[in-house]
A = this chain, B = another copy of it.
Amino acid sequence: MKKQAYQVIGKSLPRSDAYDKVTGKARYTVDVEVPGMLHAKVLRSPYPHAKVVRIDVDRAKSLPGVAGIVTWENTPRVLFNATSTHTQSPPPFEAVKDQYIFDNKVRYVGDEVAAVAATSPEIAEEAIRLIKVDYKILPAVMTVEEAEETSAPRIHEDKNNSNMIGSPIENNMGDIQEGFKCSAHTVECTYTFPVQKQCQLEPQAALAMKAEDGRMMVYSTTQAPHPTRKILSDIFSLPMNQIRVANPPYVGGAFGVRIGFSAKAEPIAVALALLTEKPVKIVYSRDEDFIASETRHAGTIRVKLGFSDDGIIQAADVESRMNGGAYASWSVDVNGAINSRALTIYRIPHLHFHGYSVYTNTTLAGAARGFGAPAPTYAMEMTVDKAARTLNMDPIAFRLKNIIQVGDAWSAPFPCRSTGLKECMERGKKRIGWDDFSKKSYDSNHPRYLRGVGMAVGNHISSAFPFQTDYTGANVYVLPDGSVQVETALVEMGTGVKTTLGQIAAEVLGVPMESVWVKIGDTDSSYDIGGQASRSLYAGGSAVKKAAEAVREQILAYVALKQDCTVDNLDLRDGWIWVHNEKAMPFSEMTQDADYHNVQFSRLEKHKTDNALSWHAHFARIKIDTWTGKIFVEKLVAAHDMGKAINPQIVEGVIEGGVSMGIGYALSEEITYDHHGKQIQDSYHKYMLPTSMDYGEIEPIIVEAHEPSGPFGARGIGENSVAAVAPAIMCAVRNLLGIDVTELPLTPERLLKQIALNK
């Protein structure tokens, strides 16, 4: 049969969740209501570090409407890692288990002390106020430096003999000393990064109840239903098959903040549901979400780069120290990612990486979109830009000499089978008007303004393999009326997978998109580690494609028998069965016929995930107001190679969202702490999240370098767009002002200070 062009893949079809979302019908965990439901509220520590000496719940308990109170004294003493999807991953990435639901010690302002379930949120809140806690205040450490002092208080006494979290990450290729020896030039710099918040729309929430089928049912905002089930199983000693975790079915954004648990919403809800034998719902307030759910890691990264006279990189030495906050979460893994993001873009014969995180008495840092990428990409790209300038080379030309090519030796534990980075750079360069703007340019009409461009490149993984366990599965059922049901545990948290996974099934089965319905976010499905690591489409799409292909084969074999021909003479397309290039019968007629003959078309497919890097080049054209220190991004061209855009409009939306997050990281977003150890930015009034009014145009460019390991050649796109934004902007700043911005975000205050210092 002649291969036809794609019917569904590569088309910007409307999102299947669009109508429900714009009309407000889409249900999120915060919307779920069940009869007899109780509401829970959490008592949180006002101190960054203290022993919980005594908890008196008597007055709270006697408040009418209070159904149950949980503290460290009546909940399981089982240590866990709330955000782990990988309880058994290979060293050094084993999950560090250092959390209880509640402990007799608090480690940051916001740490959980107790929770109350009551008949209304107001009563629960009132009961929280009636709980009396005696604390013994301990000295606190807020920064990496403080935590590393030998006399520093130990935040987890039972862990290593220091505040270091788990083991450091080391990576060596070649001989780093040798590399620098043979380098004609070196540049070196240390960069400091802020705490960024994921700022997903829906706060952390969960509802736990003994379900009709006898299982513990947990509605949740989790990005990872199966791992959440696993951790709950461990904590409450319930077999996994006695727990069901599901999104209801939507998640109002996630960006890494709920891989595994949604902060501690799930275990608190389950503990209270077990205690009260009633459904218990917990919804974090916005300030709770800010102070008590994970953030991006703050920290410092030092990069030293050695290169030859003709601009060939010889050696790179990268050192990372991250502030992990009060609990480990992803603090080991993040340095693995920092290593990868810094050292897989360029061919570097001699490289060395050393990185680690430490505990502090701050909100725990965890996964955030672009996991680990923004900081090292910033540090590396700023250094590369500096290197190019050292040689008076165009930074694009410098990069093109050094970027990884297919087949190159590199430090990633999987091969590079495809890269469209060069094309990204070339197309982006054209769209931003690089040659016009690459020189510093005063705006002659307004001498207070400077306008210019900068660029940077980056990459991101498409799965968690092989750093963590990473596998998935999908079920595809063709129903007797010809409609198709696809089942996956992956999560629709806004990324569009409910649509794109449907497109994959529709393409393979040759049916219109309207015929396919995708069930998502439910542990009643094949195992999957969750919506993270930009893997949903790459991993889940592979599973759906395999399952749909198996079903397609079943159908073709059935039709071939009926039509007395070989499968080569058959095709499924446009909702029809084609025989010898002629429409033979509608798809639904064939399925009804099969039903009549006791034949069903269905398949469960498992998929062990591979990995592949997606690539991007960002070009920023900025305007600096030298009087106010305000930087406005007039245009950001984001050229992205995701292998294949299954749905280009969704891809563009994903890119735009990520760029916006990158702009915030560069210019405004930051959580800092007051001298009581309390987070200052705990609301959208105080936390400076950019809106679409705060920047100009974002122009996504789609580059498609076919990736053999991905479905229809696709790789991940979800996180790739955050990383290179800040360095693109700051390279433009350097271009315009000659300043090397070593601390983010570059707020107007900081910029004015820099301008003053450089005068």
Q: Which residues from chain A sit less than 8 Å from chain B, CB to CB?
A: 20, 25, 27, 32-35, 88-90, 212-215, 230, 233, 239-242, 248-249, 465, 469-471, 473, 475, 477, 479-481, 483-485, 487, 515-517, 519, 524, 526-527, 592, 595-600, 602-604, 606, 608-609
Contact = CB atoms under 8 A, between A and B. Distances in A.
A606 B595 contact: no
Contact of A603 (B239, B479, B604, B609): B604
Given A212-B27, A602-B606, A242 B526 contact: no
Given A88-B596, A241-B479, A475-B604, 5 more contacts: A27-B212, A470-B598, A477-B526, A477-B527, A602-B606
Given A241-B485, A483-B239, A608 B598 contact: yes
Contacts of A32: 212
Contact of A481 (B239, B480, B481, B515): B239
Interface centre among A33, A214, A479, A598 (most CB of B within 10 A): A598
B484 A241 contact: yes
Contacts of A596: 88-90, 469
B241 A473 contact: no
A88 B483 contact: no
A240 B609 contact: no
Nearest to A520: B213
- Residue with the highest number of chain B CB atoms closer than 10 Å, among A241, A480, A517: A241
Contact of A527 (B27, B35, B479): B479
Contacts of A606: 600, 602
A595 B469 contact: yes
A222 B249 CA distance: 26
A230 B599 CA distance: 16
Contact of A239 (B248, B515, B604): B515
B599 A608 contact: yes
A84 to B, nearest CB: 13
A475 B477 contact: no
Identify the interface centre among A212, A515, A604: most chain B CB within 10 Å of its CB.
A212
B592 A88 contact: yes
A595 B239 contact: no
B471 A599 contact: yes
Contacts of A517: 215, 239, 241-242
A524 B527 contact: no
21 contacts: A34-B35, A88-B592, A215-B517, A239-B517, A240-B480, A240-B483, A241-B479, A241-B485, A469-B595, A469-B597, A470-B598, A471-B599, A471-B600, A475-B475, A477-B526, A477-B527, A487-B524, A526-B600, A527-B600, A598-B608, A600-B606
Contacts of A242: 483, 517
B233 A481 contact: yes
A558 B599 CA distance: 31
A608 B594 CA distance: 12
Contacts of A609: 598
B35 A249 contact: no
B480 A230 contact: yes
A575 to B, nearest CB: 12
A470 B602 CA distance: 16
Contact of A483 (B241, B473, B595, B597): B241
Contacts of A214: 20, 25
B524 A88 contact: no
A469 B598 contact: yes
Contacts of A90: 596
A382 to B, nearest CB: 37
Contacts of A487: 524
Nearest to A547: B604
A97 B675 CA distance: 78
Contacts of A485: 241, 524
A249 B214 CA distance: 9
Contact of A604 (B241, B483, B516, B604): B604
Contact of A213 (B212, B515, B519, B608): B519
A515 B238 CA distance: 11
Contacts of A33: 35
Contacts of A595: 88, 469
Contact of A602 (B241, B473, B481): B473
Contacts of A212: 27, 32, 248-249
Given A34-B35, A35-B34, A475-B604, A481 B598 contact: no
A471 B608 CA distance: 31
The listed residue with most B CB atoms (<10 A of its CB), out of A20, A88, A214, A470, is: A214
Nearest to A485: B241
Nearest to A27: B212
Contacts of A516: 241
A597 B609 CA distance: 11
Nearest to A32: B212
Contacts of A483: 239-242
A213 B600 contact: no
Contacts of A213: 249, 519
B527 A481 contact: no
